[in-house]
Amino acid sequence: MVDLKALTTSVGELDEEKVLEVLNEFVASNPSEEDAQKVVAACQSGMSIVGDLYEKGEYFVGDLIFAGELLTNAINTLKPVLGSGSAAKSGTIVLGTVAGDLHDIGKNIFKSMCEAAGFEVIDLGIDQPASAFVEKVKEVKPVAVGMSGVLTLALEAMKDTVDALKEAGLRDSVKIIIGGNPVTKEACAQIGADAFTTNAAEGVKICQGWV
């Protein structure tokens, strides 16, 4: 069996070569599905180290992007031994960049970190109208809705989206988090979201608190 602690550390250090070497060896040893799930969990713990180091200012956005890539690679490597019954998800998050805004780097980082934390993320994409959020929330009944935007005008679109969720009678069934350069405490209150952040790692923690 793999040294899970060492694996977690390697993921935290973003040492891709080492992580993949360990995982390839592990897969070749024909492990049980249960052990494979433990290895996945160890990788996920590594991601939360990455999040902590980001919050401490030791890692930067480029590192978060790479971390997302590393985790995807790790899970793909493990796929053959994971079997069909994948691990229990923490919950579903519907995520998108709001209408009028085409930026998605921040959204994508948040997405990969949420997935690393065990959430199922449904990514609507960029420039998404309020109706797209409403439809998806109706369909999948998520724990949370994440709205992202970089332009100042995104704040207005976020408010429109919250209003549309209210109108559809869905507002009370979900938590709403907004993220991106222009979001502030004041904007959050005005928009009627439950939380705001400009820090993906913090955003994941907030969502975990809602499960």
Touching other proteins, residues 150-179 (CB under 8 A):
151-153
Nearer to other proteins, 26 or 101 (CB): 101
Q: Does 102 bind other proteins (CB under 8 A)?
A: yes
Q: Does 62 bind other proteins (CB under 8 A)?
A: yes
Sign of CA dihedral 201, 69, 92, 151: positive
The CA distance from 99 to 22, in Å, is 43
* Total residues found in the chain within this entry: 211
Smallest gap, in angstroms, from Cβ of residue 148 to other proteins?
13
Q: Which tokens belong to 130?
A: 């309020």
The CA distance from 104 to 127, in Å, is 9
Stretch that binds other proteins, among 3-11, 45-53, 61-69, 162-170 (CB under 8 A): 61-69
Under 8 Å between Cβ of 153 and 100: yes
Stretch that binds other proteins, among 42-50, 75-83, 124-132, 169-177 (CB under 8 A): 124-132
Q: Does 60 bind other proteins (CB under 8 A)?
A: yes
175-179, strands of its sheet edge to edge: 119-123, 91-97, 144-148, 175-179, 195-197
Report the interface residues with other proteins, using CB under 8 A. Answer: 14, 16, 59-63, 65-66, 69, 99-105, 108, 126-127, 129, 151-153, 186
